[in-house]
Structure 1
Amino acid sequence: MSPRPGSRRAVTVADIARAAKVSKATAARALGDYGQVSDAVRSRVLAAAEELNYRPNALARSMNTGRSNTIGVVVGDIENPFFAHAMRGISDVANREGYDVILTNSDEDVEAEQAAVDVLLDKQVDALIVAPASSARVGHLAAVGAAGRPLVLLDRRADGRPYDSVTVDNRAAAARATAELLAEGHRRIAFISTHDHPAGVYTPGDTITMSSVADRVAGVMEALTDAGIPSPEQNIRLDARRRGVEAVARDLLEGDDPVTAVIASDSLIAMTVFQTIRTLGLSIPGDVSLISFDNPEWTGITTPPLTVVEQPIYELGAAAARLALQRIHGERVDDAAVVFDADLLRRASVGPAPRAGAPVAALSETEGRNTP
């Protein structure tokens, strides 16, 4: 009885050894490119492997060489364009150096992140790049060092831990975005994040357990405080993941003292805020100005196009991969905490603050149809 399609067993090193008429140990050395094997024997073994369509067992090879030529990556949300773009930087650098990348998703959950780290260590990856869901709950990352594997943190730091990291100066970027709005006369400025904070409304002194969000809040607070804005924390919202971005945006825009400007902590938040502003019959920037962190393509083709904090996301991922490879190869590392600057890309979604008591601008039929 002939085997069913797809049921053919995998070719083994023993099969290659028989075909090349050498011992299994010799075939393994030739295939793994280690130990003493003559050129003639290596050529014969490789020819047999090609003829039999041999696929090497990566785990077995890593046990022999101590290397799997893979880098494991754990990101918070693979649907977020930020991480997609960073992954491109990581994979481009890794692939050029002959390394594969294994991507996992934590959904910004510490327990899921810990499970992903365990799986990647079981896969014998040579290094890990992790965007930690919490900068405070990072005890599980010690397992990476215990396994003798380099660890690089992406986009976020770990509180009190000297792990290698590649981040952006989020505090300065958020302060610059806030200053842009202040210069246009805005005083009621909101910041919206989906970070899982115990209380939705931020109170000065609260611990924010994700360093990138903490830095952005600090930048917003700094700029508002310097401008003499009373209670600058009153429009900072950190519960949009739990409550929903639309609900949070509606509260800010429909309250007794509605905000006139919003800074969205990422482009997914900005998209929902944009749509909510339209749904409420408000205009951008006539009634509400909007700034988004990150610059995916859609932000440049909306009406109006959005002003954005443009982070060097590809370079962030590429730098993380280069740092991981330096550690793998035992090379000297001059800067274990790489920090990039972000640029404010001015477009048309920021305008003068509406005058107090001014009527809400009516949308034209054409303008009302535009969506991100």
Structure 2
Amino acid sequence: MSSNGFRGRDITVADVAKAAQVSKAQAARALGNYGAVSDDVRERVLAAAEELSYRPNELARSMNTGKSHTIGVVVGDIENPHFGLATRGITDTAKKSGYNVILVNTDEERAAEVDAIQVLLDKRVDGLIVAPASSTETKHLQRVHESGRPLVLLDRAANGVSAEVIAVDMAGISYEATRYLLHSGHRRIAFISTLKTDSPFSAETQVDSSQISERLDGMRRAFAEQELAFPYDLVRLDAGNAESIRNITRELLLRADPATVLVASDGLIALSVLGAIQELELAIPGDVSFLMYDDFAWTRLTTPPLTVIAQPVYDMGVAAATALIRQIDGRKAFETASGLHARLIKRGSVGSPRAKSPSRPGTVTGPAPADYLLTSVSDLA
């Protein structure tokens, strides 16, 4: 813009007004799309703004209008494809409505979530979408909701917070999946999650996540319906990282009374579980069956393809953003979560349980690695 004498500084509304030969007030109304302005003036102002590469001062505009046209999104682990896909749904929907998105990752730490929400509020976001790290320690979310700031909870509920929740009924689909495993002959069903906990899982354990709590409730209901004892010893929470998950998998499969099927609570866990199975040179489903939550393209590329619980993750993001924008605009809420249901997709990774090997008590055996997965799990990570 050196020809216009604007090198080194931002173009202002006054600059656009001068170039369009209108008053500053007229230029502001045309650029802000408010108030009365003639078509001729609007065209001249917009043409001048384009010629000068004018960009509005978002901070100044937010101070004038009370809106930043920005949404804050707080999730536990952006590396988890589940949250990545949900965030894509949020950003696509927000963009169509003229909103930008600020995304914060908390590593599922409540303290980090509290800090993230405060930072976003300080940046004057118009509303928040939060996947709570804890469904029980929710005072910070209660304060946000009680302040009147638009808030939508994604994927998980929060006790004491009456904000709109966009989530799928996990208890129902977990019950259906567990019935399927039981009818396939399995009794030793293991469940692996990264949910942080201080002690081994038991009947008295208070689970700090509505999603994981619902999944375990669905499993227990299916066992109780068949009058079978629930395998509490095979529930593994606090599987913090890839090596921890691999160690847990090996322990579950090499114990005296091993698991005959492994259930991974998300895609990242699934990759580590599959890696451990591969290292043990076991076959799916000949030696151990496998089921995971969420359906990603790679789950169809393994041999056999994996049985999954598919959630409409992208649509959940769309619904969350839609619900929040309705709140921001002051419109009445509606049942945005209707039609969001998970599905059990049966592929080839669940078979009948295999008996323990007589040659190696307490272990399971399998064929050579070539008979296991034609697709290397490490290549999928």
TM-score of the superposed pair, with normalisation by structure 1: 0.91
**Which runs of structure 2 are paired with 1:1-372 in the superposition (5 Å)?**
8-145=8-145, 148-199=148-199, 201-241=200-240, 244-335=244-335, 340-357=340-357, 360-367=365-372, 370-372=375-377
* Equivalent-residue separation in structure 1 for 2:347 and 2:72 (angstroms): 37
Q: Aligned partners of 1:279 and 1:314: how far apart in 2?
A: 33
Residues 302-344 of structure 1, C-alpha deviations (whole Å, 9 max, x = no match):
0111100011111111111121122122222233765732110
Gaps of 5+ in 1: none
Q: Calculate the aligned-residue CA RMSD, in Å.
A: 2.2
Q: Deviations over 1:227-284 (max 9, x none)?
A: 3333531111111016721111111111121111111101111111111111112111
CA distance in 2, matches of 1:348, 1:314: 25
Q: Is the 8 A contact 1:59 1:124 kept in 2?
A: no
CA-CA distance at 1:22 after TM superposition: 4.4
CA contact (8 A) 1:121 1:144 kept: no
CA distance change for structure 1 residues 367 and 233 in 2, over 3 Å: closer, same or farther?
closer
Q: Distance in 2 between matches of 1:171 and 1:264?
A: 15
SS in 2 for 1:240: coil
1:18-74 Cα offsets, whole Å, 9 max, x none, are 334444444333322223444443333323222211111122112222222222211
Question: How many residues are treated as equivalent by the alignment?
Answer: 366
1:194-233 deviation line (CA, Å, top 9, x unaligned): 011112x211121111110111111112222333333531
Q: 1:231 to 1:294 in 2, by over 3 A?
A: closer
**2: CA distance, partners of 1:346 / 1:105:** 33
Larger deviation, residues 20-29 vs 312-321 = 20-29
| Mapped contact 2:303–2:374 kept (Cα < 8 A) | no
1-side partners of 2:260 and 2:173: how far apart?
A: 20
State how far apart, in whole Å, the 1-side matches of 2:95 and 2:300 are.
31
Amino acid at match of 1:157: A
- 1:363 positional shift: 2.4
Whichever residue aligns with residue 235 of structure 1, its letter is L
Check 1:366–1:286 CA distance in 2 against 1; reply closer, same or farther (3 A cut): closer
Q: State the TM-score, normalized to the length of structure 2.
A: 0.89
Runs of 5+ consecutive residues of structure 2 not aligned to the other structure: 360-364
Contact between 2:156 and 2:210, CA under 8 Å: does it hold in 1? yes
Q: Distance in 1 between matches of 2:62 and 2:322?
A: 21
Look up the match of 2:362: none
Structure 1: distance between partners of 2:98 and 2:257? 57
Give the percent of matched residue pairs that are identical in Structure 1 and Structure 2: 49
Preserved contact between residue 164 and residue 337 of structure 1 (Cα < 8 Å): no
In the alignment, is the contact (CA less than 8 A) between 1:135 and 1:157 conserved in 2? yes
Query: Given residue 71 of structure 2, which amino acid in structure 1 is its aligned partner?
Result: I
Give the stretch that moved more between structures: 129-138 or 284-293: 129-138
Instruction: Output the amino acid matched with 1:82.
Output: H
Deviates most, 326-335 or 170-179: 326-335
> Structure 1 residues 56 and 152 mapped into 2: Cα distance closer, same or farther (>3 Å)?
same
What amino acid is aligned across from residue 285 of structure 1 in structure 2? P
Would the aligned equivalents of 1:151 and 1:163 in 2 still touch at CA under 8 Å? yes
Quote the offset at 1:146 in angstroms. Answer: 5.3
Contact 1:167 1:339 in 2 (8 A): no
